[in-house]
Amino acid sequence: MLESLYAFLAMLALVLLARIPIAFAMGLVGFVGFSLVTSWNASLAMATIITYETAINYGLSVVPLFILMGNFVTRAGLSDELYTAAHAFLGHRRGGLAMATIVACGGFSAVCGSSLATAATMSKVALPPMRRFGYSDALATGSVAAGGTLGILIPPSVILIILGIMTQSDIGLLFIAGILPGLLGVLLYLVAVLITVTIDPTAGPRGPRADWHQRWHAVRGVSAVLALFVLVIGGIYAGMFTPTEAAGIGASGAFMIALLRRKLSWPSLFETLLESARTTAMIFVILIGALIFSNFINIVGLPDLLLSWVTSFNLPPIAVILLIMLVYVILGTVLESLSMIMLTVPVFYPLVLGMELGGFSDALADPEMALIWFGIIVVVITEISLITPPVGLNVFVLKSMLKDVSLGTIFRGVTPFWIVDIVRLLILMLIPSIVLLLPSLMN
CA distance 91 to 204: 10
- 8 A C-beta contact, residue 345 and residue 147: no
Residues 369-382 pLDDT 10s: 988 999 999 999 98
pLDDT at 274: 94
CA distance 352 to 371: 7
Residues 51-97 pLDDT 10s: 999 888 887 888 898 889 888 888 887 778 888 899 899 988 999 99
- 8 A C-beta contact, residue 365 and residue 410: no
Residues 303-338 pLDDT 10s: 777 777 777 777 788 888 888 888 887 777 666 677
User: Could you tell me what percent of the chain has a pLDDT over 90?
Assistant: 34
Residues 6+ apart with CB under 8 A from 267: none
Residues 6+ apart with CB under 8 A from 319: none
Statement: residue 114 has pLDDT above 80: no
Residues 237-287 pLDDT 10s: 888 888 889 989 999 999 999 998 888 899 999 999 998 899 888 888 888
CA distance 235 to 39: 48
pLDDT at 358: 67
pLDDT at 192: 97
State the pLDDT confidence band at 113, using cuts at 50, 70 and 90. low
CA distance 343 to 349: 11
Q: Cβ-count burial of 105 within 10 angstroms (0-12 exposed, 13-18 middle, 19+ buried)?
A: buried
Statement: residue 389 has pLDDT above 80: no
For 128, the domain range is 2-442
Average pLDDT over residues 404-409: 88
CA distance 200 to 282: 42
Q: Cβ-count burial of 368 within 10 angstroms (0-12 exposed, 13-18 middle, 19+ buried)?
A: middle
pLDDT at 333: 67
Look at the chain and report how many structural domains it folds into: 1
State the pLDDT confidence band at 230, using cuts at 50, 70 and 90. confident
The H-or-E segment that residue 193 falls in is helix 179-199
Identify the three-state secondary structure at position 222.
Answer: coil
pLDDT at 391: 67
- Integer-rounded Cα Rg, in Å, for the chain is 22
Contacts of range 323-326, beta carbons closer than 8 Å, 24 or more positions apart: 324/348, 324/351, 324/352, 325/377, 325/381, 325/425, 325/429
Q: Give φ, ψ of 94 to 5 degrees.
A: -65, 125
- 8 A C-beta contact, residue 286 and residue 294: no
Concatenate the DSSP letters of all residues of 86-104 into one string: HHHHHTTSTTHHHHHHHHH
Average pLDDT over residues 140-161: 88
Average pLDDT over residues 202-213: 88
Cα angle vertex 384, ends 380, 385, to 5°?
115
Strand intervals (E) in 252-366: none
Statement: residue 181 has pLDDT above 90: yes
Average pLDDT over residues 6-31: 86
- 8 A C-beta contact, residue 133 and residue 167: no
pLDDT at 443: 63
Statement: residue 128 has pLDDT above 80: yes
